[in-house]
Structure 1
Amino acid sequence: MRTWWIALTVALTGLNAPLSIVVFPGPAAAQGFAGVDPYTNQLVERVSIRILNPSPDSALNSRVQEQVRTLLGLFPGDRFSEEQFAFQLSQVRRIKDVASTDYEVQFGTRNGLEIVVDVTLGEVPAEGRGLAFGGDFPTIYDKNGTYVRFKLDLLSLYYANNNAWYGRPDAMLAGNPLVQGTPSGAGWDQWVEAYAHYGVYGITPINSQTYLYGGLSAITAGSFGQELFTDKTRTFTGIEDAYVGIVGGSTDARGNRLTYNLSVGRQRFTLADGFLIANTAANGEERAALQANARWASDFLALGQVAYNDTKFELFYLDPDELPAIDSETTYFGANFETKPIEGLTLGASYVTSPKSNFSYFSPVGGIAGTREGLQVYDARLSYSPNPPGQQGPFFGAEYAVQRNKNFDMDARAGWVEAGYSWPQAKWSPTLSYRLSRFSGDEPTTSTYERWDPMLSGGNGQQWVQGANHFKLVQDSNVVAHRIQASFRPSPKVEIVPQLWAFYADQENNIGGNPALSFLNGTEYGFEANVTAKWFVNRNTYVHGHLAYTVPGGATKAALGGDAKNWLSAMVFIRYAF
């Protein structure tokens, strides 16, 4: 879950007596691991079409492969959606001579995915496919372009900490409204989480080029044991997806593709790679499944997308699903543009504003500097890989964003640069990269508010969850983070990702962050080493685990009175989905 709290005590000078202010204005606490869904929004590096029983007629094989590729509409540089891909495969099965389809997911050479589509040639069943025709689960109905399927996603997770919160939950969680009972702290604590995500999704043609689609699902989740914020056992069931949409498009004689997608309802949304918006629902507290991050669907999303070949434009209105106890009633409206002017180069720009919010920003001299309502965010980004996936070579990325507010003087900045190199043909296909990111803090000597608002940033541990443990203490605000990351692929379905982190405060004034770290003497937050292992056992089964060791820096130790222990965490989960 993506939240933080503010519990702030400010002693105001120049008054007859100090003023104590304790406030809990909005989303707050620790990020769930957010890596339990290994597919959604991951960058697609390569799409391969494989005919399992090729015809002696090579022209037929080539025709079928081209038709499959066109109907899938999934290309390198796209973001993967499991539900959308299932719909696209249902259209592929309408191709003459295609009897059945399947696919598998592999790890790419640059932290993305490779999708391999298997096609079996044969006669198309005239009566249709699915349970309605005596076929196999989970397809319910598949005929004449109408496709309805049942979804089931099961996950079981084990998590353990030694000296969570540096062994100082008394300071690090002081005033946190999510604490119920006894939180994790000094010594060894462990718990288990589980959830089941189940529902029905379908698509049907309106005409030859336009389709109506939708989904309805629920999640039942539970947490048992000594969790980060509580030792209370909890179970919870709630609606997850509930949306409808229209999608369509066409391809002209020259191969130019025009597509559009309009949808409304409860659904998940990620803007680009999650630097600004990824975690559109909160987990934990009464909803359980804090680290499993079971829920992603916003309370409401209206989304319009239009794409012409490699250029995409989208508009969105988003109301995230925040925890009731700390609901800031924030909404967002935004626009996003992405294009690929040359092979290997992707450019993007976004604008996001918050038309409504009760979330407050706090001044270092006391009082409220302003609220999130009126926030205006301008973002530009690029990624560049001069060599195509599968070939040895460098890759680069960068992003820069500015936050203003139409209701008060705000000027916050954030950005990152990354450079890396991959050796896909070498043993274990190693990749090595370095990333520097900065999220501004508030300079107390100026009247301008400069602390970066992380909004709904997140994703997974290779995106904007910066440090498996450290992110729970210092989220993406008032922080400068150095990351060295490697990845190794012992096989196409196994990936090992070690990371080294160094975290520093941008400003010693940290009001608005963890209350124990509101005033720093120095900028050294801490250091972390972690390693993540991922295994696609098959398309339905995924295993994931991590170890993380975090050491408090000098500024953190001083803020905690010198009593701060090193933090070790371990996690493993198994996910089964169809």
Structure 2
Amino acid sequence: MSRRLFLPSALLAVCCVALPAMAADDDHEARGLTHSIGELDLTLTLDAGFGLFSVANAQHGLGSQALGSSERAGGRAMSEGYLAPGLAADWHLGDSSLYGGFKLVGSATRGQGDAQRNSSTSDRPEALDIEDAYLGWKSGITFARLGEDAVDLSLGRQPFSVGDGFLLMDGTAEGQRRAAYVLGPRSSFDRTAIVRLNTEPVRADIFHLEGNVDQDFMRAGDAAATSLYGGNIEWFASGHKDHGRFEYEERLWYVGLTALTVYEADTGVSANRKGLDVYALRSGGALLSGLGEGWQDFALYSELGLQRNGDTGRKSRAHAWYVEPQYTLSALPWTPRISYRYAHFSGDNNSNDGRNTAWDSLFTGGGPRGFGTWDLGEIYTRYTPNGNSNLNSHMLHVKLQPLEELGLGAVLYRHFFDKPDTANGVTSDDLLTELNVYAEWATPVKGLSVTGLLGAAKAGDGRRQQLGTSDATDRTTYLGQVVFG
């Protein structure tokens, strides 16, 4: 078997065999095998994923250009995979504990690569690097009145998120030489210092984060080097025991406030980021559940963000917000859940007024609420450079649960430019219409899930103008993907 076929096949085999075998019994513990030596618990963890992806009519008919080639391909097919072995340690010190973690991520892309206008993975990249390397201390019962592990201090390279990922979730850019552009197995921030106060009904975080950036390895195509500090405070109720103190998914409802400052940034990559102050107010979940049992079926998610920079030459004044009501028809078969979201991310079509008004999406990520959280369409997010900025977005999401282990859904997006870039010939605000239909199956093999998705996206006049030609961009882009993980 050739090397090009062996690695993806090996990744799929590990995903289907090794990963389920290492699944933990407790959903709140790391997936892995634990061995105790006195007061020291060592847990060997393994995460893995494999995906198959196919795009037809890439860039709405314009095509995708491979690295080192002047020709454009109308269709692209690729496979991606990753392995992420890790070791976690927990040393009990009586009332408290020390802990640490180390994880590697090995990833590879094969086939024709992604379908961006200029494909970043058409050269079949692969990479092996450190994802996590951190040490920490948990208070255990030291402050028993505040709850077990109420205080958590940690340093190093590690994941961190606030809320549903509107501002902070993904500290590492994927694709290019890191491979695995769609699967995105890397998310950790570098040089972190995090204090978590895990109390209830109010919890808080104080944090220092740096983006995990390596411009040399990424051929100057990595995200902007960014260093920031800030704080976050949340008022919430747990949906299950007291787990909401630790996990976003376990919060029945929440209201939160975040403030952060970017004190250092690569001005060559992101000219307005250094000196940026960001403020955000958010809410989510079953906020009206206290009114009665029926109100637990209604959820409301929202966030308002403001960005300000007064530094000379980097003046910025941007904003973003969204409102997303959600209702679950729990009395009906398959418990349909219907949600609608309107999201606004400010844009800037005047580069000569000395002030930037375009929203900087910072370190947003896919998000913990599944499809449609902050990846606003699988085709739009992966293959349109606009991102979560200069955008007005409508989303309608319907999800069905015919079986406990099977979820079906459809997401319709209607995207518009907030401010068309008239200086570059974009006069229409009509950006894109996209439909994603998906199925999520938690297989009988513990720890293994399969997700399939079909997508279709039609470019609006503004997107066709952005691509530089209207004659070659009137086709519907189609996407098919299957992910094992």
| TM-score normalised by structure 1 residue count | 0.68
- Conserved 8 A contact 1:355-1:374: yes
- Conserved 8 A contact 1:395-1:419: yes
- Conserved 8 A contact 1:494-1:536: yes
Equivalents in 2 of 1:433, 1:140: separation in Å? Answer: 40
* In the alignment, structure 1 residue 352 sits paired with structure 2 residue 260: yes
Residue in 1 that maps onto 2:67: 180
Structure 2 letter corresponding to 1:432: I
Q: Rg: which structure is higher? A: 1
Task: Give runs of aligned pairs for residues 501-516 of structure 1, distance below 5 A.
Answer: 501-509=413-421
- Conserved 8 A contact 1:441-1:510: no
Residue in 1 that maps onto 2:232: 336
Q: CA deviation at 1:394?
A: 1.7
Residue in 1 that maps onto 2:378: 468
Question: Residues 254, 424 of structure 1: CA spacing in aligned structure 2 closer, same or farther, 3 A cutoff?
Answer: farther
Residue in 1 that maps onto 2:303: 399
Equivalents in 1 of 2:442, 2:275: separation in Å? Answer: 43
Structure 2 letter corresponding to 1:243: Y
Equivalents in 2 of 1:341, 1:224: separation in Å? Answer: 45
* In the alignment, structure 1 residue 572 sits paired with structure 2 residue 482: yes
Question: Residues 528, 303 of structure 1: CA spacing in aligned structure 2 closer, same or farther, 3 A cutoff?
Answer: same
Task: Give runs of aligned pairs for residues 372-451 of structure 1, distance below 5 A.
Answer: 372-385=273-286, 386-387=288-289, 393-407=297-311, 408-444=314-350, 446-451=353-358
Equivalents in 1 of 2:397, 2:236: separation in Å? Answer: 26
- Conserved 8 A contact 1:167-1:185: no
Residue in 2 that maps onto 1:478: 390
Greater shift, 146-155 or 211-220, is seen at 146-155
Q: CA deviation at 1:255?
A: 8.5
Equivalents in 2 of 1:269, 1:447: separation in Å? Answer: 34
% of aligned pairs identical?
A: 24
Q: CA deviation at 1:184?
A: 9.7
Does the residue aligned with 2:164 lie in a helix, a strand or coil? coil
Question: Residues 424, 264 of structure 1: CA spacing in aligned structure 2 closer, same or farther, 3 A cutoff?
Answer: same
Q: 1:219 aligned to 98, 105, 130, which one? A: 105
Q: CA RMSD in A?
A: 3.1
Task: Give runs of aligned pairs for residues 226-375 of structure 1, distance below 5 A.
Answer: 226-228=112-114, 229=119, 230-250=121-141, 259-324=150-215, 325-327=220-222, 328-340=224-236, 345-359=253-267, 370-375=271-276
Does the residue aligned with 1:455 lie in a helix, a strand or coil? coil
Does the residue aligned with 2:465 lie in a helix, a strand or coil? helix
Encode CA deviations 1:192-230: one digit per residue, 9 max, x unaligned. Answer: 11111112111111222x111111121111111111214
Structure 1 letter corresponding to 2:159: R
| TM-score normalised by structure 2 residue count | 0.81
Encode CA deviations 1:245-292: one digit per residue, 9 max, x unaligned. Answer: 111244989896670111111111112111011111122111111111
In structure 2, the gaps of 5 or more residues are 1-21, 240-251
Equivalents in 1 of 2:405, 2:70: separation in Å? Answer: 37
Greater shift, 378-387 or 397-406, is seen at 378-387
Residue in 2 that maps onto 1:130: none
Equivalents in 2 of 1:304, 1:156: separation in Å? Answer: 34
Equivalents in 2 of 1:183, 1:348: separation in Å? Answer: 49
Encode CA deviations 1:106-129: one digit per residue, 9 max, x unaligned. Answer: xxxxxxxxx8x9xxxxxxxxxxxx
Residue in 2 that maps onto 1:160: 54
Q: CA deviation at 1:186?
A: 4.5
Q: 2:450 aligned to 538, 543, 559, which one? A: 543
* In the alignment, structure 1 residue 102 sits paired with structure 2 residue 25: yes
Question: Residues 252, 306 of structure 1: CA spacing in aligned structure 2 closer, same or farther, 3 A cutoff?
Answer: closer
Equivalents in 2 of 1:184, 1:142: separation in Å? Answer: 57
- Conserved 8 A contact 1:376-1:406: no
In structure 1, the gaps of 5 or more residues are 1-85, 90-100, 105-114, 118-136, 174-178, 363-369, 512-517
Question: Residues 192, 254 of structure 1: CA spacing in aligned structure 2 closer, same or farther, 3 A cutoff?
Answer: closer
Does the residue aligned with 1:411 lie in a helix, a strand or coil? strand
Question: Residues 140, 484 of structure 1: CA spacing in aligned structure 2 closer, same or farther, 3 A cutoff?
Answer: closer
Q: CA deviation at 1:146?
A: 2.8
